[in-house]
Structure 1
């Protein structure tokens, strides 16, 4: 359960109260008073200094490290984002407490939401919340989530411009209860968030991209659960996906022989961006049974490292399989494109054998299907070359 500390505290307080009310007749009055004082002192220790609310528990998170949710008496919640920014969620019909700190306040229930990333829509999908979306920053032709596309066609969902330069007046006219944005990326969204504050537009920062474990990224669905009072549904969905991943891990443990060595990268503006060993995508590929050939490339960092063609070639020359992210580096869509970027890439083992895999267009809009993606990758690693040319999320480049 997400509120793991609640039940223990409730039981303890209840037992003390029962002792106070039904204690033995021989119990001295000062002992009862002492018990009452103990209860009051325990409650006082759990009072949040900034809100005056009594803390009763926190959300259980197994992998996500970039957010937390704390629960308080009366149904109040506080979300803490990756940068320490706090948002107090006010239950329907409840008053805003006397705040002693700069805390953002959002009134529940949330009936309309703006989405500044397709991955946010994917996190809303398993909870049946796509109908809450009223504005987006991705154009209709680029959507692969049918419900969003239909909403735009029917006029229920409005495109408001790029996420780094949206139409603020249009957003104000739509009046979303909250906007889900991604901050701290260096792509202009921090300035957007500041403008939202100036205009009084409520927002929550998504930080799933900061998680170095794909299971941590998947767990961000629990944040959506907290926003929409669907914690139990979110936890259940996450546990089902996690079980699928654990089943794949068990299959891998039973495999005999050496693991396939892989590399993952893309080309943009004449620079090759190569996944660091500590990146979430490398972890996903490893969970699927692969062995990263660049095992010494920043094992404690997520994201990418920049390389030139020669550096990359020397690093991946003996790779069994290449995963080229053609959704980020769109200039390469086939093996000939890859060889054209540097002719000596033709000597890479995976290129010679035709084992270069690309990403299908809907890949990034299925952040809620991490287990299925890992299963796809497991299939790629364990199926003899030549027997399959595509999976649900990947395709073999020609």
Structure 2
């Protein structure tokens, strides 16, 4: 083979190799394009909400709340899932109502009037300057501690419609609120009430902030109000400011020296004592403030209360440093004598002997939007030498 032939052969081999490389690259590129297309299709399928047919765009970020969720869809649509798992579609003003599954409730925005079957709703509307949305309540005028609500009731803008468990349905129908927020499946709202609402065509959402296991999660329900009334940004700003204030207390607690004060929280009705479970949001609030729960093994995974008789309570809290008695939920107890008169041997409980029993001021539950200030109050109670203070904004020392 001469040099010319040898050179030609080498050139042909180089061309062949280059062609094979290009072919391989094209095949590889085609495979990548097909894979990307498949992924895009899958993502598009995932973004379609099966219950409403709407294109999913994102979800509300929740830091602590676990009892509700908010999803956002193309076109300004939203869905809310409440603590009972009930799904509600919010349809923007002027937009069509899509075909939805039969168990999905639909509310047309804007929401101009709200019925509050729990006074906590007022505390969630207040920071957003939306109390004027309330048109009916199930809390009597004399039991309100929010001046704006009392004034609105006096002026006829808010109507009392009876107890949660037995409201005046004809009155509700005449007021015709756009939405009722009600705590269901508890003593504050029974199933027959919401069944009647469904028959009447009254829109409702289950309010469940009390189901949260962290006070910061309970406070985060203001974001649900923000979603309902297109005030998400304002709700987020308020919430973050409250979190910052709580974090400042946490930092102080982390730098405390010595043992933490042991606490307990109780109230009684008909000789039965109700004691907070370890997993309850109120216990967490006390702990964030620098206290140590003396009943730390009492149902750590559950919220709410456990029932005890006086003897069981005594055994559990005998050595407690500070006792909190819920003067709002429980039998009228305003002094240590009132407390001991129900069970005399409770006088041997350390906190009672030393006069360290704190009650709740009447406005406590109607100011749940100020949980950061409550935590500041509790930190003050836990860290101030006994006798130097007798009250805070939300608590008072029993005599």
TM-score under structure 2 length normalisation? 0.89
Unaligned runs of 5+ in 1: 1-27
Q: Determine the structure 2 residue equivalent to 1:87.
A: 88
Q: Determine the structure 2 residue equivalent to 1:305.
A: 306
Q: Determine the structure 2 residue equivalent to 1:390.
A: 391
Matches within 5 A, 1:2-151: 39=40, 42-151=43-152
Q: Determine the structure 1 residue equivalent to 2:269.
A: 268
Point out the more displaced range, 345-354 or 84-93. Answer: 345-354
Which SS does the other structure have where 1:278 is aligned? coil
Q: Determine the structure 2 residue equivalent to 1:191.
A: 192
Asked if 2 retains the 8 angstrom alpha-carbon contact of 1:50 and 1:101, the reply is no
Q: Deviations over 1:216-266 (max 9, x none)?
A: 100000000000011111111111111111110100111101000111101
Q: Determine the structure 2 residue equivalent to 1:292.
A: 293
| CA apart distance, 1:38 | 6.3
Q: Deviations over 1:140-163 (max 9, x none)?
A: 000001111100000111111111
TM-align CA RMSD: 1.9
Q: Output the CA distance in 2 between the equivalents of 1:356 and 1:97.
A: 56
Matches within 5 A, 1:342-381: 342-381=343-382
Asked if 2 retains the 8 angstrom alpha-carbon contact of 1:267 and 1:331, the reply is no
Point out the more displaced range, 368-377 or 180-189. Answer: 180-189
Q: Determine the structure 2 residue equivalent to 1:3.
A: none
Asked if 1 retains the 8 angstrom alpha-carbon contact of 2:55 and 2:74, the reply is yes
Asked if 2 retains the 8 angstrom alpha-carbon contact of 1:277 and 1:300, the reply is yes
| CA apart distance, 1:39 | 4.8
- Rate the CA distance shift 1:171–1:257 in 2: closer, same or farther, 3 A: same
Q: Output the CA distance in 2 between the equivalents of 1:173 and 1:33.
A: 60
Q: Output the CA distance in 1 between the equivalents of 2:339 and 2:351.
A: 12
- Rate the CA distance shift 1:60–1:339 in 2: closer, same or farther, 3 A: same
TM-score under structure 1 length normalisation? 0.90
Asked if 1 retains the 8 angstrom alpha-carbon contact of 2:183 and 2:189, the reply is no
Which SS does the other structure have where 1:368 is aligned? helix
Q: Determine the structure 1 residue equivalent to 2:5.
A: none
| CA apart distance, 1:37 | 7.8
Asked if 2 retains the 8 angstrom alpha-carbon contact of 1:319 and 1:349, the reply is yes
Matches within 5 A, 1:133-282: 133-282=134-283
Q: Output the CA distance in 1 between the equivalents of 2:101 and 2:82.
A: 19
Which SS does the other structure have where 2:250 is aligned? helix
Q: Output the CA distance in 1 between the equivalents of 2:338 and 2:153.
A: 35
- Rate the CA distance shift 1:339–1:58 in 2: closer, same or farther, 3 A: same
Asked if 1 retains the 8 angstrom alpha-carbon contact of 2:84 and 2:206, the reply is no
| CA apart distance, 1:89 | 0.1
Point out the more displaced range, 268-277 or 98-107. Answer: 98-107
Q: Output the CA distance in 2 between the equivalents of 1:115 and 1:74.
A: 29
Asked if 2 retains the 8 angstrom alpha-carbon contact of 1:77 and 1:90, the reply is yes
Asked if 2 retains the 8 angstrom alpha-carbon contact of 1:320 and 1:349, the reply is yes
Asked if 1 retains the 8 angstrom alpha-carbon contact of 2:66 and 2:217, the reply is yes
- Rate the CA distance shift 1:99–1:352 in 2: closer, same or farther, 3 A: same
Which contiguous aligned blocks of 4+ residues in structure 1 show a shift greater than 4 angstroms?
28-41
Q: Output the CA distance in 2 between the equivalents of 1:29 and 1:317.
A: 76
- Rate the CA distance shift 1:344–1:71 in 2: closer, same or farther, 3 A: same
- Rate the CA distance shift 1:343–1:30 in 2: closer, same or farther, 3 A: closer
Which SS does the other structure have where 1:75 is aligned? coil
Q: Determine the structure 2 residue equivalent to 1:340.
A: 341
Asked if 1 retains the 8 angstrom alpha-carbon contact of 2:67 and 2:209, the reply is yes
Which SS does the other structure have where 1:223 is aligned? helix
Q: Deviations over 1:83-131 (max 9, x none)?
A: 2210000001100012244210000011111111101111111111100
Asked if 1 retains the 8 angstrom alpha-carbon contact of 2:261 and 2:382, the reply is yes
Asked if 2 retains the 8 angstrom alpha-carbon contact of 1:119 and 1:365, the reply is yes
Asked if 2 retains the 8 angstrom alpha-carbon contact of 1:77 and 1:88, the reply is yes
Q: Output the CA distance in 1 between the equivalents of 2:266 and 2:101.
A: 48
